[in-house]
Structure 1
């Protein structure tokens, strides 16, 4: 995956990522509020060894002994020998073992200073325990553990150099830190889910996905229209609609396709059903006819014909009648509109569609149409369901593949392309339908409507200028 792939994932899943990030921070904040505040008091003890001599070597030996002893003294602080005395001094309702869990003693390397930290929900009690630990530890070490036999005083001395003060703010929970950790965890979880969704999702969402599935060029993109079923012929129903302009852009790209010979006959198919091939074929035919070209639209889907319904013509007699010799081609062609667009409906549904479409009669029919028209568009069934489209493609210049964003899967598109390659048919390009008009997978149609509005404004401006000039001349 490249950097732009990750950026596209972030753009596509930014709501999920943001929601999990906010949820992580909010959860950490709520968890912090539910925790009992704990205060931490700290005291520091200085351990030294007295010497009978004031010589430098004796002082050095005493300091070295103190440093070595401190390591052992740290473990004495949370022992029952010290803590039982603390419990008696403060009348605590606990045990030495439980009290030890709230006490932490430490000493830096080569240091004679011991730091004692005590945590407790009560700030004053935390300070009292810390100070009591310090005094009782000193007494245990000096008067019991390190006291020589007889009446000789102990050479070890423990002094408190920093008594514990009552803390003014709780040490835990650390709300800012917890919230920051929650946000990081939520963000990481959101990114992980977003990447996992992208990896597991094999559907086509953008033109980039088309490029990853096939080397065929992308001829154009058609945006998603929720009212497409109500207005299937958008080029005719609303010529200034941005979606209609996208079909005209497709028309322009199709005109520049390098086709061997003078014939421009194309089979329009898709990998699976419901990808918008029939409406795409019909609108493309209307857009081509707008240029003055002679266009014929053939309904080659003899199983589920749709062209006649979309174009609003009678489809009872059509292609099947020509193929079986019941009617002449010129008699079943129906002119649509006032231009040079003709429609050849499918006719009655036959029991053997594949055999009819692969017959010599079909080949002669398409050759006759290619001689009489500039463009021949054949709406064929999906490639992966039946062999009809593959069979017909042998008699035409090639295939235009329709793939629906969010519906067509990459393996399906790849399989359809491989099927065409296996029989030697030429794939001229892919038309992406149902593209979102906004977001990372959009195709960008705002420029069409913007240009149309500017054009209308220019026309109106020129009209007002012309009328003003005429008035001045008068």
Structure 2
């Protein structure tokens, strides 16, 4: 395949290739969606060596520390370091499994060891990285050789940068998955088109005929359903587009290079390409010019002229050749221009031998001498050898190519057969074209012709509409893939929303013996207005919980504030916090809020939250507190919100606790602006909520 073939292939099938690329990207995004998000945390340890006072000793010590850094980086993932990490953090894993999630590297020309740990839970990743770094430092001291003049170990390791809880997942990299998926889709699309081009491709346009086979067609003939009932458009619809196209081809045939083109042998690569209909139309077009024309049917195996032209069956070409009748007796006039037609006649058992015989050549030469133009309809080239015999006798063949019918492989085989038989190709005609390749400014309809007005070409023809449709389809698929990627990015990013909260107590996910409680809620849970002591911390201390506080001011079941309002980097709704809660795997989930939702309908959102928590945390206790106002007065809409939340909790199987609002009308329990409880107010709330939970 040449560069030109590749360019033509891309132009002809660009939509398929684009769609294959986009679908590959979508498959990559889908594959990323099946991967569990993982977080990577890193800690840095520096290796130092106790060295002398001279410049040479310092240089040697620096080189030695770099060598030791590389050695201890290899030790960082060995059992001597990882086993104590598992024991310290109470991890449910083995050294081999933990080794796959821990790596150590040394930047070039440094004594720095960077330890990275990867885990589905960000707090766990940070804890593993820090613990590994600490135990590596202990191991360095134990494995370093002793030097007589140095007290302690001459090689030391010190943690200089602790790992922090990562805020975004390190994998899956959605962009990378999408890029590799798109590349795979592109390769598959190109490979398929190349295979199809070599095996199943069909010619559709004149450009493809030229680019693929090097054939410049004499003209094109549009596909017309009327040809089934009126095959000769030159006679039945002389003012139609198809008739004008036939006349243009007639003119091209008259001026072909060479001395004698009065005998034209029409053939095709395979059957069904419309060679007989093309031959009939061109014969009628020549006759319409007033020249004596004869249409000869030499397709002796499947004759069609009798039925197509409504002729009388009987004697024909075979009968003249074998001497059963004279030529004048076999010729039949057809049409208003006295076109003479010689049908096939009696079907012989040996058509090729009959046409190639000396008598057969004499009869055809007799017809050639008698008429100004002889149009010969011959069988397909790939089926039988008849057309090649006739082409040798009359100096070449006119090849009719059916658009969307003939495969390029069939056409190449037909051209090769002509080359082997040394039969010239006079020209080619592209038939059955679905779209007229040239504007039909000179085509007239019968009604418009009567008024002398030409039919105007449509600006938005079928080809342009299809092109616009293809571009729109490709754009729609690209938009869907982009939206899917953004949604997945947002979904994987939700797990990082509680990074700041988890950073304060990373041991929550590491098997601490105390029950882990995650508290989801608004400003009352976050603790706005107090002196730092909140009712969640008081309740957790009273009940022996290890608390993870996800409170966000000005949020609710369907309401989300901006970062300036809640005081955190992200302010998700309660429903959007579900993935963060599930990632902690708590023993208790306590949900309190809804006042900021106002008069919004929270039924669907609250039910979705409670059902997801119950489904993903089957062993946890899900506790839902009745919504409480954040100020010293109760909004009228709060009762509606409370009713919806209570109903959702009952449906999902969560514990709904009615705690009322013990701070109502107690201005002394609020800050001066009356918008948030003070320390005493939070104490009253803690006592009320603790009693409701334990009762």
TM-score of the aligned structures, taking structure 1 as reference length: 0.83
Shift of 1:285: 0.8
Quote the residue 1:316 is aligned against. Answer: 314
Distance 1:355 1:35 in 2: 72
Distance 1:14 1:212 in 2: 16
Matches within 5 A, 1:55-454: 55-142=54-141, 145-146=144-145, 152-201=151-200, 218-225=217-224, 228-260=227-259, 264-354=262-352, 356-358=354-356, 362-393=360-391, 396=394, 398-405=396-403, 406-407=405-406, 409-418=410-419, 420-421=421-422, 426-437=424-435, 445-452=436-443
Partner SS, residue 228 of structure 2: coil
Quote the residue 1:44 is aligned against. Answer: 44
Distance 2:41 2:132 in 1: 12
Q: Taking structure 1 as reference, are residues 430 and 29 closer, same or farther at Cα in structure 2, changes over 3 Å only?
A: same
Is residue 382–residue 414 contact of structure 2 (8 Å, CA) maintained in 1? Answer: no
Q: Taking structure 1 as reference, are residues 82 and 340 closer, same or farther at Cα in structure 2, changes over 3 Å only?
A: same
Shift of 1:158: 2.1
Q: Deviations over 1:246-303 (max 9, x none)?
A: 3222111111124535x71222233443332211110111122232322111222233
Quote the residue 2:27 is aligned against. Answer: 27
**Farther off after superposition, 196-205 or 1-10:** 196-205
Distance 2:413 2:305 in 1: 24
Quote the residue 1:468 is aligned against. Answer: none
Is residue 146–residue 152 contact of structure 2 (8 Å, CA) maintained in 1? Answer: yes
Partner SS, residue 450 of structure 1: coil
Partner SS, residue 339 of structure 1: coil
Shift of 1:157: 2.9
Distance 1:299 1:461 in 2: 39
Shift of 1:202: 7.3
Q: Deviations over 1:10-61 (max 9, x none)?
A: 133334322321221111111111111111111111221234x544344333
Distance 1:97 1:394 in 2: 81
Quote the residue 1:466 is aligned against. Answer: none
Shift of 1:455: 12
**Farther off after superposition, 409-418 or 301-310:** 409-418
Stretches of structure 1 lacking an aligned partner (at least 5 in a row): 438-444, 464-474
Q: Deviations over 1:431-458 (max 9, x none)?
A: 3334453xxxxxxx24252332699989
Distance 2:448 2:391 in 1: 45
Partner SS, residue 300 of structure 2: coil
Shift of 1:120: 1.0
**Farther off after superposition, 323-332 or 297-306:** 323-332
Quote the residue 2:592 is aligned against. Answer: none
Q: Taking structure 1 as reference, are residues 457 and 123 closer, same or farther at Cα in structure 2, changes over 3 Å only?
A: same
Shift of 1:146: 4.7
Shift of 1:374: 1.9
Q: Deviations over 1:180-238 (max 9, x none)?
A: 11111111221122223223447656657766898886433334456643442233333
Q: Taking structure 1 as reference, are residues 456 and 55 closer, same or farther at Cα in structure 2, changes over 3 Å only?
A: farther
Shift of 1:123: 0.7
Distance 2:88 2:215 in 1: 87
Distance 2:213 2:115 in 1: 69
Q: Deviations over 1:346-376 (max 9, x none)?
A: 3333445445434555445444433443211
Distance 2:155 2:393 in 1: 107
Is residue 418–residue 424 contact of structure 2 (8 Å, CA) maintained in 1? Answer: no
Stretches of structure 2 lacking an aligned partner (at least 5 in a row): 455-695
Is residue 213–residue 414 contact of structure 1 (8 Å, CA) maintained in 2? Answer: no
Q: Taking structure 1 as reference, are residues 448 and 308 closer, same or farther at Cα in structure 2, changes over 3 Å only?
A: farther
Q: Deviations over 1:109-155 (max 9, x none)?
A: 32111111111111111111111122222222225645568993223
Q: Taking structure 1 as reference, are residues 247 and 112 closer, same or farther at Cα in structure 2, changes over 3 Å only?
A: same
Is residue 260–residue 397 contact of structure 1 (8 Å, CA) maintained in 2? Answer: no
Distance 1:266 1:386 in 2: 18
Quote the residue 2:668 is aligned against. Answer: none
Distance 1:360 1:87 in 2: 100
Q: Taking structure 1 as reference, are residues 207 and 304 closer, same or farther at Cα in structure 2, changes over 3 Å only?
A: same
Give the aligned length.
Answer: 451
